[in-house]
Structure 1
Amino acid sequence: KGSGGFHKIEDLVAGAFEQISNNAQNQDAVTGLRTGFAYLDEMTTGLHDDELIILAARPGVGKTSFAMNIAKNVGITEKKPVAVFSLEMSGEQLVQRMLASTGLIDSQHLRTGILDRDEWNQLDVAASVLRQAPIYIDDTPGI
């Protein structure tokens, strides 16, 4: 992590060499947090501290779904805290999407509340899993 200010390159080379040596010992192509998307993790080596990742695309192509799946995977699988700032959707709407994804339930069924017995059971399991995840959502409008 950067500490700000000027640094002598000699010191930076030593730190970089140490990081490379640590990565070599791990023998893992993914050195950061796994997103749950293997190809993305392979291309980026995972999510790393001090990186700002911007997800941009045209409206309606799945940016929110993709981002929430990454948040869910990091929170549930990696058990790492995740902060989500939502400017357009309420926290409940985002959680409803995560429940559908986690429980493998048709999101239309969740929106209408028309679920069969199996879907109710899947929803209960998904809710139990999500309750344990260290995921925090701020849906304050206009932040």
Structure 2
Amino acid sequence: MKKIAIACDHAGFEYKEIIKKHLEGRFEVEDFGTYSPDSVDYPDFVHPAADSIEQGRNELGILICGSGQGVSITANKHQKIRCALCWMPELAALARQHNNANMIALPSRFIGSHLAIDIVDTFLNTPFEGGRHQNRVEKISTC
């Protein structure tokens, strides 16, 4: 069973809970918080989720905040993370196929929960194409 990290801030809390329930039974989901809609600082939850992927405890990650920007920027500070901000399934597919994205960021204030589910499903079920894209992905890291 594929292991998935999930984290959010207060703006993404409702969607995190919806997504977790949707993934139940199909994936092993590790929830890094937040655990309520009370205001929080998203880096406190994103860094541990990204660490879990860098360390191999989880294979892929889902991040959610109001715009998706803050969680994406934070995750991408990690050397081995390729987090894509996606607001439509086609972007999630391309992020996996061409960029081998290992995390996705969702903008909860700009998409509906049903669309968020479609984006997550696309992300989790789309493989990396490799081939000509492999060399490009290898050039992303600065170390």
Band of TM-score, shorter chain: 0.3 to 0.5
Higher helix share: 1
Instruction: Report which of the two structures shows the higher radius of gyration computed on alpha carbons.
Output: 1
Give the TM-score taking structure 1 as reference length: 0.33
Give the TM-score taking structure 2 as reference length: 0.33
